[in-house]
Amino acid sequence: MSNPLTNGTIQATAALDPDRKALEIGLVCEPAAGIERLGFGLSKLMRVPSRTDRQRLLDSVYDQGIRHFDVARMYGLGASEKELGKFLRSKRTQVTVATKFGIEPTLATRCLGSLQAPVRWFFTRFPGLKVAASETRQPLYRPKRFNPDSLRTSLDMSLRQLGTDYVDILFLHEPMPGDHIADELSDSLKDLQRQGKIREFGMSSTANSLMTLIGQHPGLTSVLQFDNDATSRQINRLPLPPHSRLFTFAPFATALPVVQARCEQESSVVRNMAERTGIDLRSQQEQIRLLLSYAFHANPQGMVVFASTKVHHVAAVAAQVRSELIGEDTVRLILEELGLSHTDSGVEVGSS
């Protein structure tokens, strides 16, 4: 299934990379155009202190038409997969789920998972104790392990926690060029694929790490997930294989403060752009729209994943995707006018 985006983006999404194929996602009902390329990350889920509110957040994501959920064994001290599993009980066939292996919480850490809410509340009331605890605490996670034994152990735990017998994508979690990745790992992943426990596999890491890893481990590049935003444009520096399915994340975390600061510094430019394009970047909603538009244009047939702990933030992002996103040429023009058109690599938005 592949729906075009709304007016102003159809030609751009087709032109940037016509050979790159999207991950097929089977849905019972058709979501709004464009929403099928928006995914939700659970890295921050356990920051929501109430179980009721966590489930409410996941329900709101689903109600907005978002059908892809990204989690990991390490998220939430090992508790996020179980929380997602509760949500999935009546919706598993209607969504896709990506999880990750390689970074495992220790047994003591997993035991602390259920105590996160009261601990967070306590440290909020007594911040000095949080500093003291951070200086003396033991490691929360085991050293990274990317070998067949850790793969199978981790996946079996993920499947139990998620309450499912398969995941749609299994990623190596934050592999780095110096990490040991067993030569036989790719064959083990293919075996799990044949068994039906995973549908796709690949690597999820920073763009900087993937620059080296893509060449070192071509058998693990079927699906690639990495950070990409309008101010750094990491996607343009990667030697992306033509067969790879791309998932990008963090379109706002770094870029939104940069855009906000630049708009304050260049107030006359912002007013001029509003007159020329009708896009008034004095509004945070329009700033978010700009960053989303870039993310969708830069990854024209892939998934854009974001994270939030607020229901109204989720609704605002989904509303921007359902509305008319800013066209590629206008995105380029705005970034140029704001002095954000070039990265260290000298590549402009939309290049590949």
The 10s digit of each residue's pLDDT in 51-109 is 999 999 999 999 999 999 999 999 998 999 999 999 999 999 999 999 999 998 765 55
Q: Dihedral of the CA atoms 176, 179, 180, 182 (nearest 10)?
A: -20
pLDDT tens per residue across span 238-280: 999 999 999 999 999 999 999 999 999 999 999 999 999 999 9
Task: Find the distance separating the first CA and the last CA of the chain, reported in whole Å.
Answer: 24
Q: Which bin fits 210, alpha (ψ -120 to 50), beta or left (φ > 0)?
A: alpha
Return the percentage of the chain with pLDDT > 70, whole number.
Answer: 77
Q: Which of 201, 180, 181, 178 is nearest to 189 (CA)?
A: 201
Residue 281 DSSP symbol: T
What single string gives the DSSP state of each residue in 39-92? EEE-TTGGGS--HHHHHHHHHHHHHTT--EEE--TTGGGGTHHHHHHHHHTTTG
pLDDT given at position 20: 35
pLDDT given at position 4: 32
| Superfamily of segment(s) 25-251+302-325 | NADP-dependent oxidoreductase domain (3.20.20.100)
Which helix or strand (DSSP H or E) is residue 128 part of? helix 127-136
